[in-house]
Chains A and B, each alone.
Chain A
Amino acid sequence: MGTCMTRDEIFAKVRTVLVDALAVDEDEVTPSAVLTRDLGAESIDFLDVVFRLEQAFGFKIAQGELFPDNVQQDSRYVKDGRVTPQGIAALKERLPHADFAVLERDPQVAKVGEIFTVDSVVRFVERKLGK
């Protein structure tokens, strides 16, 4: 299923998922909106988004596949409250859908959540559907 979906169709479904999971209005869900900063997502909301995407698109998402687990506690990635260049490189490889521009400008560990925009979720779904 899903392989013939257009990007607009994927975006529309992702928007519905985010409206339901985050209790935001449709017009707030723009491609550049950041899930945490702009749409108010908290940690449990990321699991809610994963569950709803699985149901909406009919695929399974492994733990850590869309959103990373416990980056803050990972000494391989974080030093003195900042994500190291090696950490960013590793995250980029694990999360090719995410948007790292913010984190590269300001690698504070608190900014890790900001690598997930609406567009990054759409890109993730596109990759999962094999486009």
Chain B
Amino acid sequence: MWIDRIVELIPRERLVAVKNVSLAEGHLHDHFAAGGGRGALPIMPASLIIEGMAQAAGILVGHAEGFRENVILAKVSLAELDADAGPGDALRYTAVLRQFDGAGASTEGTVERRLPQGGWEPIGRIDLMFSHVGAERAGPGAPAGNFVFGESFKTLLRLSGF
């Protein structure tokens, strides 16, 4: 999972989740490794920050219908990040449900980084669209049941008290 805890969930409205960035995460050793005469620069890849928002927003969308629908990330409408996040940083994702219908949903999101002295500073915006993919649209060979919200999502929800 690319979020560590859900700290707020207002059904069909908004979800807030936090992610702690740690040097124990293997990808930070490669992104970016030392080379070319400069030292290592461990920063969280922007694509994984987008994935974190997709998980936060996806849970908000899935929760709206009791996780009966497969909720698939279908479009990154906007992704703007003004600052990096590295080891020791905490990120806070706030996803707001903008629109929702049988076919899918759109969300607007803000990404914040914890300040050393406390409090949070905004570092970006990520707006997403999700498709609802039921059995009839998933096509032949798709797994039965809900293939999006598996055990790791359930564990996250349970540990977050939801």
Q: Which residues of A contact B (CB under 8 A)?
A: 21, 44-45, 47-48, 51, 54-55, 63, 69-70
Query: Would A51 and B131 count as touching, CB distance under 8 A?
Result: no
Query: Would A47 and B77 count as touching, CB distance under 8 A?
Result: no
Q: Which residues of B contact A (CB under 8 A)?
A: 74-75, 77, 98-99, 101-104, 106, 129, 131, 137
B106 contacts which chain A residues (CB < 8 A)?
48, 51
A51 contacts which chain B residues (CB < 8 A)?
98-99, 106, 129
List the B residue with the shortest CB-CB distance to A55: B99
A56 to B75, CA, bound (A): 20
Query: Would A54 and B99 count as touching, CB distance under 8 A?
Result: yes
- Count CB-based A-B contacts (< 8 Å): 28
Query: Would B102 and A47 count as touching, CB distance under 8 A?
Result: no
Q: Could you name 19 residue pairs across A and B whose Cβ atoms are closer than 8 Å?
A: A21-B77, A44-B104, A44-B129, A45-B75, A47-B104, A47-B129, A47-B131, A48-B75, A48-B77, A48-B106, A48-B129, A51-B98, A51-B99, A51-B106, A51-B129, A54-B99, A63-B101, A63-B103, A69-B103
B interface SS class? strand
List the B residue with the shortest CB-CB distance to A45: B75
A63 to B102, CA, bound (A): 7
Query: What's the nearest-Cβ distance from chain B to residue A94, in Å?
Result: 16
A27 to B103, CA, bound (A): 30
Report the 10 A-B pairs with minimum CB-CB distance, sorted nearest first: A44-B74, A51-B99, A44-B75, A47-B104, A51-B106, A47-B103, A63-B102, A63-B103, A48-B129, A44-B129
A116 to B104, CA, bound (A): 21
B101 contacts which chain A residues (CB < 8 A)?
63
